[in-house]
Every structure is written in structure tokens, then in C-alpha cells.
Amino acid sequence: MQKKIDLVNGPVLSSLTRLAIPIMATSLIQMAYNMTDMIWIGRIGSSAVASVGAAGMYMWLSNGLAALAKMGGQVNVGHALGSSDRKCAADYAAQSLILTLFLGLIYGSICILAAKPLIHFFHLNQLQVIQDAIHYLQITCGLVLFSFLNQTFTGLFTAIGNSRPVFLATTTGLIVNIILDPLLIFGIGPFPVLRVTGAAIATVIAQMIVTGMFFLFAARDLVLFRHVRYLQKPDFPILASIIKIGLPTSIQSMLFTGISMIIARLVAGYGDAAVAVQKVGSQIESISWMTADGFAAAVNSFTSQNHGAGKKGRIYHGYISALKVVFVWGIFCTLLLIFCPAPIFRIFITEEKVLPLGVDYLRILGVSQLFMSLEITTAGAFSGYGKTVPPSVISIIFTALRIPLAMFLVHTALGLNGIWWSITISSIFKGILLFLCFLVFMHREKILPS
């Protein structure tokens, strides 16, 4: 297995890039993972996509809860390794996994027992869409523990500067999902026709395999996991430190999803086809934000280790290097969505009556891709310092403003497109403001070169 990358010594761009490339590749694979589901489900019809879109909101919501343990564990482990305290790092890793286990079991139980009222929140129109959404929710979120563990392992491996296991495990999950999706959705060979339920089962099986691979990679790791005692009791002071750092990001993510769910309810007023457009459009849009999120994870680990080592100059150069990559990627995604929306959308849904709605979505959201990538990368740098509050506050405020802005714009000539413009406008403001805040922060902390 690849040894950890030394993030506190040597060329900045080289070490950051070596860590970031597998993470970015992993993000692209995760995007392909989600898109594979959408491509196969889209072959059933837009109603099936609407079912997955509604239920998928709760899977998205769960990511915010998972971030509590992932972010707190990743940052604390990075700081401890930066100061060469491996025992402390191992304790933080063990406690973050304990917290992950607890949160995963609680959230999964709630989703199984309360699936019907959770889906009824969206006011879907067709009975079959509602039933499919309930089944998808109970399977994917009921067994969400494996997704939670995968996210925490991802954060811990990234913190030690070894992103290769994340890439290999996620790639394996993608391959399994690609094979199982058509078999279980359409009932190829000896398999029954399960439609949306089959997609949910395929997703969970793939996640289980990824979790198993993470445990295998952890057993071979010599930097962190060989020192981790998995069966230790909860250490409340360490858990408190993890929660302190992870909570702002967790609240931000869950509120972001909650606001998106309210937006989705507004979208549902335009019919199930509009819900399907939002689901497919967000998957396509993830080509930019998931890649930026992967690079932000590298910036987080780079910043946290160099902060622990007291090397401020490397933090500045690492952040600037990240921005250069993200700028190029954001421009590419903007041009792709604005000038090539129709052929991209047709990959997922071929119904001609739905296509114009999808084209409008992609063109409008394409305007904000660069600014969204800027926000995500800068949030990663803030989090690496252990300062998770500033990006969370800015994100919560401007994301919440989407609701009144959308409610106003839908009553103009824009109609449904007013909702999409509310998302784009808020993303532009978040990216610019958070970037300016980090410049001020670097000046105050004397990170900026004189």
C-alpha cells in the first residue's frame, strides 16, 4: 500500500496534488456511482426518478449527520499527526468511529419506522411514486450505517495523507453497483424485476463491500490504524472535541438539505416531472461540486497538518495552488452546462416533454459552478484550521435566503426557473463572501506573505 504523503515538508504543489488527485478521482467515481443509478432508473421513466429524488433527499440529509464524526475526526487526527502525536491521533480516530456507529444506527432506525410520513412531506402526486419512494428510503437510509462508516474512513485516510485506499474502495463499489443495477432493476437472468427497490438493494450491497475494503486497508495501515483500539469505551472529552469541530459543518449540511427539501416541495407543485428534473439536474451538476469537495478534503488535510506543525507559509501556498485548479475546473463545468445541456440531460431522461425543463435547469445552474467550487474549497481551508463556524454561518444564511427568493421569483414570468435562479444567485454570493472572509482571516493570522 502507498505510504502516507508528507504534507508538512517538500514542494507544496507536488504534495498537495499527489493527495488531491486520488480524492478528485474518487469524487468523480462517486459521481459516476450516482449517475449510474440515475441512468438505469431513468430508463424506467421520470416517475421512478421522482421516487428516488424524494427518498434521496433523506440520504442527502444523512450526510450532514455523518459529517459530525467525519469532520471532527479528520481535523483532530490531522492536527495530532502534524504535531507527531500518533497515540492522540489514534484515540481521535477510534472515538470518531464509535460516534459514527451510534449515529448511523439511530438515523437508520428512524428512517425505517417513519418512512411514510417522511415521504408524504413532499406531496408527491402518484401512488406508485410514493410507494417506490418509501421502499427506497427504508432500504438505503435504513442501512445507512455503511455509508456513514465509509465517509468517516474516507476522512481518516485523507487526514493521514493516504487517499489511495479511498480511491480503490470507491472504485470497487462503483463496479459492483454498475453490475447489480441492471440485474436487480430489470430482472435480468434469474433475478426478479425489482425496479426502484432493486436500485436501492444494489446501492446498499455496494456500500457494504466498500466498508469491508476499508477495514482491510485499515488492517494494513502502519501510520494510524495499527494504533487504533476499536473496542475501547466512549471517551467523552475526546468525543466533545470531535463534536465541537464537526458540529458547525454538520448543522450547515443538514440545514442545507432541509432548505433543499423545502425547495423540492415547491418544485413538486409543478408536477412529478419537475421533481425528476431537479434530481437528474443535481446529479449532473455534481460534476463540479463533488470534484471541488474532493479537492477541498485535500486542502483540509494539508492545512490541518501544517497548522499542527506551525508552518503558516505552506498553508497560504497550498490554498492558492488549490484555487488555481478549482478555477480551471469551475470554468470548464460552467461552459459544459451552459453550452451542452440537451445531450447531457438526454443521457438520463429521454422523454421529450421533460427535456426543455432539464435544459433550463442546467443552463441556469451552470452560471454558478465556479463560485460554488470556490466556496467549497475555501470551506475546506477554514475547516483544516479547525474554524468550521465561518463557512457554516455564511452557507446557512444565504442558503436560507433561497426560500423567500424562490417564492418571489416563481410569481414572476420566470415561473419554475425562478427556483433555479434562487439557487444560482445564492451560490454566487456564498462563494465571493467566503473567499473574502478567508483573505481577512489569513491577514489576521499572518498567513499572507508580507
Question: In the prediction, which pLDDT does 19 show?
Answer: 72
Torsion, CA 128, CA 133, CA 135, CA 139, rounded to 10:
160
Instruction: Report CA Rg, the chain.
Output: 21
Which residue has cell 479547525?
Answer: 386
Residue in this structure with the C-alpha cell 493521514, named with its chain if needed: 160
Phi/psi at 328 (nearest 5 deg)? -65, -45
On whether the CB atoms of residues 48 and 237 are closer than 8 A, the answer is no
Q: What is the pLDDT of residue 429?
A: 96
| pLDDT, tens digit, 9 for 90 and up, residues 44-84 | 777 787 788 788 888 888 888 998 999 889 888 988 887 78
Distance from C-alpha of 351 to C-alpha of 60, rounded to nearest angstrom: 26
User: CA-based angle 241:372:71, to the nearest 5?
Assistant: 15
Quote the CA–CA distance of 181 and 136 in Å, as a whole number: 14
Q: pLDDT tens digit string along 116-141?
A: 999 988 877 788 888 989 999 999 99
How many separate helices (H) and strands (E) can be counted in the chain? Answer: 17, 0
The set of cell numbers assigned to 405 is 427568493
Taking the C-alpha atoms of residue 267 and residue 134, their distance in angstroms, rounded to an integer, is 19
* DSSP letter (8 states) at residue 114: T
Residue 450 has pLDDT above 70, yes or no: no
Model-level pTM?
0.73
pLDDT at 320 over 90: no
Indicate the domain borders of the chain.
Answer: 12-444
Q: In the chain, pLDDT over 70 holds for what percent of residues?
A: 94
User: So what's the pLDDT on residue 424?
Assistant: 95
pLDDT per residue over 323-369, tens digit each? 888 888 889 999 999 999 999 888 887 788 888 999 999 999 999 99
